[in-house]
Amino acid sequence: MGTTTSKVFTKQFWKDFFKSPEKPFSKDFFISYAWLLGGCFVFSLGAVLFAEPYGFAPGGTYGLSMVFHHLWGWETEIAAFCMDVPLLLLGIYFLGGMFGIKTLICTFAIPLFMRLIHATYGYDALLEPGVVERTELQEQLLSAIFGGIVYGIGIGMIFKARATSGGSDIISMILNKYTHISLGTLVIIVDCTITLSTVIAFGDWRLPMYSWIIVFIEGKVIDLIVEGASVNKTLMIITSQTETVKNIILRDINRGATILSAIGAYQGVEHKIIYTILSRKEMMVLRHRIREIDPEAFINVIDSREILGRGFKSLQD
C-alpha cells in the first residue's frame, strides 16, 4: 500500500490540491474565502442552536455525531472531526486531489466554530434556553424549520465558494466511482441511513421526520443561495406573425431570440419557431402583445432555474 500511496501524493496531486479558480490574494480570492468561512460559521450556528439540542440527524457526519452526543455525551464537533479526517484521507486516496484546500479548511473550520459557539453560548436550544433534557424540548417543528433555513444558508455559502464540506459526501463519491450508481441516489441513501439511526438510538420515529424537514428546506435554501431567487422563462413560440413578434422581442423588450425551422408532424407544414429566454415580467409583456396581434399563436413556457451566458448570469460566476 505504501507504493500506491506514494503514487497518489505526486507533484500533480499537490498542484491540483492547492489549485484555486481565483488568483491568489485578488479581490475574488478574498470574497471566495469570506463566503467559505462565513458558510462554515453559519452551518455551525444551525448545528448548535437548532439541530444538536433536539437529537436531529439531518445527514452527514455531524448528524451522526449528534446522535453520539445524546447517547454517550461525546462532543459533536470532536466526533465529527474524528470521522471527517479519515474520510478526507480516504477521498484523497481513492479520488485524488479533487477536494482541494477549501475542503480541508471546512474540515477544520466547522468544528472550531462549533467549539467557539459552545464555549460562548452553551448547549441550550435557541428557542428553549434552560431546558437540558432532550425529551423535555417542545419546539421540534419550529427548530426543524429554522434549522433547515440556517443549514441551507451555510451550505449554500460554502457552495458559492466553490467548495464542499466533505464528510459523508466522500463516501457517496467513492461508492459512485466503483458502483456507477448515480451520486444523487447515493447521497440520499447515505443521508437517510444516518437520519434513520435516530430511531435505533432513541426509538422515536418523529426525529427522522423532523430531520427530513431540515433536509428538504435546506435543499430549497441552497438553491436560492446558489442560483438566486429569480426564475427565468424559456419560450418557444409558433405564430403567423413571426417577424412582428421577433421585432417586439428585439426592439421593445431588448432581448435576444433564435429562429428555428420546424415541420409540423400532422400536416407536414413548415413553421418558424421563435426561441427566447425572458424574465417573468418580460414574459407577461410579450404574452400580452402576442395575444393582441395573433390570438391563435402557440406558446410553450418553461421555467429555467439557471441561464448562463450573455445577458444573464456570467459563466465565470
For residue 98, pLDDT beyond 90: no
The pTM assigned to this predicted structure is 0.76
* Whether residues 77 and 210 fall in one domain: yes
Average pLDDT over residues 268-278: 91
> How many structural domains comprise the chain?
2
CATH assignment of the domain containing 263: 3.30.70.120
**Using one digit for the tens of pLDDT, what is the confidence trace for 275-309?**
999 988 888 889 989 999 999 999 999 888 777 77
pLDDT given at position 110: 96
**Using one digit for the tens of pLDDT, what is the confidence trace for 205-251?**
999 999 999 988 988 888 788 766 667 889 999 999 999 999 999 98
* Whether residues 206 and 82 fall in one domain: yes
* Whether residues 201 and 124 fall in one domain: yes
For residue 260, pLDDT beyond 70: yes
For residue 96, pLDDT beyond 70: no
The whole domain housing 274 covers 232-304
In a domain? residue 218: yes
In a domain? residue 309: no
Model confidence at 106, pLDDT cuts 50, 70, 90, reads: very high
3-state secondary structure the chain: CHHHHHHHCCHHHHHHHCCCCCCCCCHHHHHHHHHHHHHHHHHHHHHHHHHHHHCCCCCHHHHHHHHHHHHHCCCHHHHHHHHHHHHHHHHHHHHCCCCHHHHHHHHHHHHHHHHHHHHHCCCCCCCCCCCCCHHHCCCHHHHHHHHHHHHHHHHHHHHHCCCCCCCHHHHHHHHHHHHCCCHHHHHHHHHHHHHHHHHHHHCCCHHHHHHHHHHHHHHHHHHHHHHCCCCEEEEEEECCCHHHHHHHHHHHCCCCCEEEEEECCCCCCEEEEEEEEECHHHHHHHHHHHHHHCCCCEEEEEEECCCECCCCECCCC
Lowest mean pLDDT among 99-113, 122-136, 201-215: 122-136
* Whether residues 216 and 243 fall in one domain: no
pLDDT given at position 147: 94
pLDDT given at position 89: 85
